Structure 1
Amino acid sequence: MKPPLKTSQKYVRLAEHLRRSSQDSLTLTYEEMEGILHAPFPSSARKHRAWWSNSVQGHSQASAWLNERWQVASVQPGSVTFQRNNSNDADSCFRANGQQSSRSP
């Protein structure tokens, strides 16, 4: 299994919120997420869809959801929908997003 990527301290609360959720799909407004984080998002999170990329390359915040087996399913004005990755393969979330698996082929 691939070791988890380090989650920035700023986004640990979001990771914990996703981990505790019993839902398979979760839509959160920016205001709800900022309340969870106790901090505002950078302006780029509201302006650029790429900020919500499911790749950690250049987007370290993505480790907050990828480590918890969630992916961003969609970004709407004012909110983001996360989708739980229910795959039995722990590395599938990383492979689907261009990350190298630590498992042998």
Structure 2
Amino acid sequence: MLLLDMKKTSIRISDGEQEFSYLVSSEVAGMLIRQLNDAVFPSPISGEEASRKFDFNQIRPRYRELARHLYGREEETFCMTFSQIEDIIGKSLPASARKYNAWWANTRSHPYSAAWLDIGRRTCELDLGEETVVFQKK
């Protein structure tokens, strides 16, 4: 619960077993809330911020947003569904992506796999039946 007044803010933090109460300045309360939100709801780097760290123009346009998304993920390993990937790229994956393991191979000879390899990811698990792929940092 967050109670605001002009000078101090009361913050109560509970993990279900213990509860802590703090009386802090509004500035400190804002900083704590931002840090908690960042810790609980991390967001991938996107857009301009990501572009400053990696030149996404070298990635083919169709897979550029996927590369940005993968680049922004901080987890060592994470799973994505084919539909999540399609939402990111704004188009359907080709039928061969749903049919052949080889489509997901870590090779630079295809623009889609080059996109994830260039930003330091690789595929490590694939389930064509469930339509999921696991990416990990190289």
Bigger-Rg structure (1/2): 2
Q: Which amino acid aligns with 1:15?
A: A
Runs of 5+ consecutive residues of structure 1 not aligned to the other structure:
86-105
Aligned runs of 1:56-75 on 2, under 5 Å?
Answer: 56-57=108-109, 59-75=110-126
RMSD: 1.4
Shift of 1:60: 2.1
TM-score normalised by structure 1 residue count: 0.71
TM-score normalised by structure 2 residue count: 0.55
Which residue of 2 is the match for residue 21 of structure 1?
73
3-state secondary structure, aligned to 1:54: coil
Moved over 2 A (4+): none
- Larger % of strand: which? 2
Deviation by residue 1:25-71 (Cα, 9 ceiling, x = unmatched): 011000111011111101011101111110112x2211110011000
Runs of 5+ consecutive residues of structure 2 not aligned to the other structure:
1-55
Q: Which has the higher contact order (CA 8 A, sep 6+)?
A: 1
Q: Percent identity?
A: 30
Aligned runs of 1:1-105 on 2, under 5 Å?
Answer: 6-57=58-109, 59-77=110-128, 78-85=131-138
